[in-house]
Amino acid sequence: MSASKLQALWTPLAWLNNPTGGAWARDVLLEIDASGYWSGITSGASSVQAASVNAHLLSGPLLPGLVNAHSHAFQRAFAGLAERRESEHDDFWSWRDRMYRVALAISPEQLKAVAAQLYIEMLRGGYTHVCEFHYLHHAPDGCVYDDPLTMIWMLIEAAREAGIGLTVLPVLYERAGFNAPALRNDQRRFATDAAWILAAQKRVNESTSGSLVNSGVAIHSLRAARPESINTLVASSQGPIHVHVAEQTGEVDECIKTTGLRPVEWLLRNHVLDSRWQLIHATHVTQDEIEGVAKSGAAAVICPTTEANLGDGTTDVAAWLNAGAAMSIGSDSHVTRDCREELRLMEYGQRLQHRARNIAASPATGQTATAERLFARVTTGGAAAAGHGLWGLTVGARADALVVDPSEPALLGFPPSRTLDAMVFSSPAQPFANVVVAGRWVVRDGAHPLQNSAANAFAKAMREIWSDAA
Ligand SMILES: [Zn+2]
């Protein structure tokens, strides 16, 4: 991607960060510095001011691009292909066994094709940055590739071609369960230890400085990593620390049986959690755990469509919001690649459970708009997940933005100040047709420059991976 860099944008309406999360502002001029970051944001700016800085004039509202805080790119090759129940019972664990079939088959070239298609879809779905929780490292027979980071380079190359920002999170994955000595044979591509992860992070950082790529580290889960290895990783790594936690009640029960503590409780007791820590799913948690995480500065990363698809359960969204916890969203297994669907399901899961409406809103604090409260929280929460100091339409954040099309059916004649309500709760929404990353157009007038070649390469990879599917 090498579209020419924008100097400034002017929009009649923009969702700007503010101390309570975000709010609409009118006639906004946004200036972009040479590194692709917002250098000035002025509300009530005239067209004369806009012309003086060579601003590109937009007709529709402007939103920040979101961080997709949890992705396993290879699982895009599996989306829609696990929707048949072939025995009496089907749950997360039987899904995982089938998912491993793709994990064991996919080649580096196929991973690149799948990830490039996925990342272009993400840009159109409202994400301008993705955090790759990446554990698929080794060759199908479990041998280390000549270059051990072969699979990581594929993800980085796919992100570069798509023009999306990327946080690489190599995953510590050591054992099959709390009391297992090692991984299962069908987990052989994932085997790492703390030293491997630290070396991988060092190489990624050395080769990506000055790009849209950065790194953190990940711990697969408390069941899959030894406590000593987690200590080493936390002490010696940089950037965000992502960990799957309390996704399944089975995992919570095992953790209690082994350690006497619930998984989030164990983290709170054994580590000094802070804003580096990103707790993926955090589905089965108590009020005390939520408050402990919120107080620590750590964050919850919710993946509503994957959690629904896998039958995980729902976390207490209102409790997380009201505790003031940092939050973000992830498309995880990629059964959908659109941020609006994640936000909609985050709220609808709660409505179905509580038989009430607008659960995520907070009239007591004046935040009556459900979509706005959710969108604001996950916008700012994306910063820590992606290892950025700031995120959103605010000076100092990377200049990433989505242009809303006012001719979209859901918005025809709609009050502009309620744009986010319509985008989340009046579907289907059209893909974003104009998307900016680091001050450059990556999707323009509905088109991505590599959309056709990426789609062809993806279709070829899918045919190869699923050649024996009935
Ligand atoms: Zn995951």
The verdict on pTM exceeding 0.75 is yes
- How many helices (DSSP H) and strands (DSSP E) are in the chain? 15, 17
Q: What are the beta bridge partners of residue 299?
A: 278, 326
281: annotated active-site residue: yes
CB-based contact 373:350 (threshold 8 Å): no
What is the gyration radius of the CA atoms in the chain, in angstroms?
Answer: 21
Q: Give the DSSP H or E segment for 14.
A: strand 8-16
pLDDT, tens only, 263-298 = 999 999 999 999 999 999 999 999 999 999 999 999
Q: What is the pLDDT of residue 179?
A: 94
DSSP one-letter string for 270-303: HS---TTEEEEE--S--HHHHHHHHHHT-EEEE-
**Which residue from 62, 164, 9, 34 is spatially nearest to 420, judged by alpha carbons?**
62
Return the sign of the alpha-carbon dihedral for residues 289, 294, 297, 299. Answer: positive
Task: Choose, from 312, 332, 400, 405, the residue flagged as catalytic.
Answer: 332
**Which residue from 272, 257, 346 is spatially nearest to 305, judged by alpha carbons?**
346
Q: How far is the CA of 71 from the centre of ligand 1 (A)?
A: 7
Q: What is the pLDDT of residue 470?
A: 64
| Stretch among 85-89, 114-118, 245-249, 364-368 having the lowest mean pLDDT | 85-89
The Cα–Cα gap between 294 and 285 comes to 13
Contact residues for 356 (Cβ-Cβ < 8 A; gap 6+): none
Q: How far is the CA of 163 from the centre of ligand 1 (A)?
A: 23
Residue that is written with structure tokens 């099959």 in the block = 176
Half-sphere exposure of 41 (CA within 13 A, CB side): 22
Q: How far is the CA of 332 from the centre of ligand 1 (A)?
A: 5
Return the sign of the alpha-carbon dihedral for residues 150, 152, 158, 163. Answer: negative
Q: How far is the CA of 49 from the centre of ligand 1 (A)?
A: 46
The Cα–Cα gap between 381 and 326 comes to 5
CB atoms inside a 10 Å sphere around CB 190 = 22
The Cα–Cα gap between 21 and 5 comes to 28
Q: Give the DSSP H or E segment for 355.
A: none
**Which residue from 56, 213, 162, 128 is spatially nearest to 392, judged by alpha carbons?**
128
Q: Give the DSSP H or E segment for 216.
A: none
Q: How far is the CA of 2 from the centre of ligand 1 (A)?
A: 31
Given a cut of 70, is residue 162 above it in pLDDT? yes
Ramachandran area for residue 214 (φ above 0: left; ψ -120 to 50: alpha; else beta): beta
Q: Give the DSSP H or E segment for 200.
A: helix 194-208
Q: How far is the CA of 382 from the centre of ligand 1 (A)?
A: 16
Q: How far is the CA of 283 from the centre of ligand 1 (A)?
A: 12
| Stretch among 291-300, 439-448, 461-470 having the lowest mean pLDDT | 461-470
The Cα–Cα gap between 254 and 266 comes to 12
pLDDT band at 91 (very low <50, low <70, confident <90, very high): confident
DSSP one-letter string for 443-465: EBTTB-TTHHHHHHHHHHHHHHH
- Give the residue-averaged pLDDT of 67-72: 98
Q: What is the pLDDT of residue 98?
A: 81
CB-based contact 420:372 (threshold 8 Å): yes
Q: How far is the CA of 457 from the centre of ligand 1 (A)?
A: 25
Task: Choose, from 220, 281, 284, 334, the residue flagged as catalytic.
Answer: 281
Q: How far is the CA of 30 from the centre of ligand 1 (A)?
A: 35
Work out the mean pLDDT of the chain and round it to a whole number: 96
CB atoms inside a 10 Å sphere around CB 445 = 7
- Give the residue-averaged pLDDT of 333-341: 98
Sequence letter at residue 361: A
- Taking each helix axis from N to C end, the angle separating 263-270 and 287-296, rounded to the nearest 10 degrees, works out to 40
CB-based contact 136:111 (threshold 8 Å): yes
pLDDT, tens only, 208-239 = 998 999 999 999 999 999 999 999 999 999 99
Q: How far is the CA of 373 from the centre of ligand 1 (A)?
A: 25
Q: How far is the CA of 135 from the centre of ligand 1 (A)?
A: 10
Q: What is the pLDDT of residue 359?
A: 98
Q: How far is the CA of 295 from the centre of ligand 1 (A)?
A: 24
Tokens of 307: 């959690």
CB-based contact 172:233 (threshold 8 Å): yes
Q: What are the beta bridge partners of residue 23?
A: 16
pLDDT band at 112 (very low <50, low <70, confident <90, very high): very high
Q: What are the beta bridge partners of residue 277?
A: 241
